[in-house]
A and B are shown apart, each in its own frame.
Chain A
């Protein structure tokens, strides 16, 4: 009911402004009077203020960490030399890891193949014995 009054009053006020009615005064403004009449009767949940502040703080903290990381990265990669260095280091790391893993796997496969040969010729080492 109250919101209907406000809407109607706001519509009338807008119409009056549009029509450039200079006789309009604040004392007679139905929006102001309607807002003045408006009373909040619902009670707030317990620890409402505390909860609001906690949410604001956590939102600020999140923003701060993310902002810090992104600005730090932006600062680092702003220099082309740093971007190239980063790419080179990661590429070298990939190569080194690939090399060591491949060495390990090659040794494993070699052993597997040689033992397959031995098992094929030596009856004492056959699995079906």
Chain B
């Protein structure tokens, strides 16, 4: 009986050891990336197979981009609060609202231009094949929301047009 119990126990120990060895061995790289000082950049380096020199240039670009981006974000937020004040006033000045909307829109365009310039600059620091892959991936990630919005908006418009056409028929 003692022998059977030892074999049973050894089997369980072997199973647990095998599980832990494979699990922690296979996820080690990702866990190390998460513990890095800048996990997102460490991930970029690994994902797009950047050399140390390439990574250094990309990291520098990233550092330079962040303050510009944050400043534009701050300006957009400021414009939005101005717009809110205008809209919540007792007598809404339509032309002032229109002007503010235009200004906020211009800032957003500037923000997006800044972002796409950054993507291009980063992609240029990468090996050509990886650069193309990066551009494709990053545009897919950043354009998805607007694309979805466009689709939703488009479908809402087409639904409204269909309803209008139906009411005309009746």
A92 to chain B, nearest CB (A): 8
Interface of A is mostly: helix
CA distance A89 to B145 in the complex (A): 48
Which of A12-20, A21-29, A37-45, A111-119 forms part of the interface with chain B? A111-119
Which of B27-35, B89-97, B124-132, B158-166 forms part of the interface with chain A? B27-35
Name the CB-closest residue of A to B72. A123
Q: How many residues of B contact A (CB 8 A)?
A: 48
Name the CB-closest residue of A to B119. A121
Which of A3-11, A51-59, A96-104 forms part of the interface with chain B? A96-104
For chain A, which range describes its interface: under 10, 10 to 19, 20 to 34, or 35 or more residues? 35 or more
Name the CB-closest residue of B to A118. B141
Name the CB-closest residue of B to A128. B73
CA distance A121 to B145 in the complex (A): 15
Q: At the interface, yes or no: B8 with Cβ under 8 Å from chain A?
A: yes
Q: At the interface, yes or no: B118 with Cβ under 8 Å from chain A?
A: yes
Encode contact with A along B24-61: 1 for CB under 8 Å, 0 otherwise. Answer: 01110011011000011111100100000000000000
A16 to chain B, nearest CB (A): 47
Inter-chain contact A123/B73, CB cutoff 8 Å = yes
Residues of chain A within 8 A (CB-CB) of B146 are 124
CA distance A110 to B20 in the complex (A): 20
Inter-chain contact A99/B12, CB cutoff 8 Å = no
Interface of B is mostly: helix
Inter-chain contact B22/A95, CB cutoff 8 Å = yes
Residues of chain A within 8 A (CB-CB) of B73 are 123, 126
CA distance A97 to B8 in the complex (A): 19
Name the CB-closest residue of A to B17. A94
B122 to chain A, nearest CB (A): 9
Inter-chain contact B27/A123, CB cutoff 8 Å = no
Q: At the interface, yes or no: B7 with Cβ under 8 Å from chain A?
A: yes
Inter-chain contact A73/B15, CB cutoff 8 Å = no
The 3 closest A-B pairs by CB, nearest first: A98-B22, A94-B18, A102-B26
Chain B residues within CB distance 8 Å of chain A? 1, 3-4, 7-8, 10-12, 14-23, 25-27, 30-31, 33-34, 39-44, 47, 62, 65-66, 69, 72-73, 76, 111, 115, 118-119, 138, 141-142, 145-146
- Given pairs A98-B23, A99-B26, 20 additional interface contacts (CB within 8 A): A70-B4, A74-B4, A77-B3, A87-B10, A91-B18, A93-B18, A94-B19, A94-B22, A98-B22, A102-B23, A105-B27, A109-B34, A113-B40, A118-B141, A122-B115, A122-B141, A123-B73, A124-B142, A124-B146, A125-B145
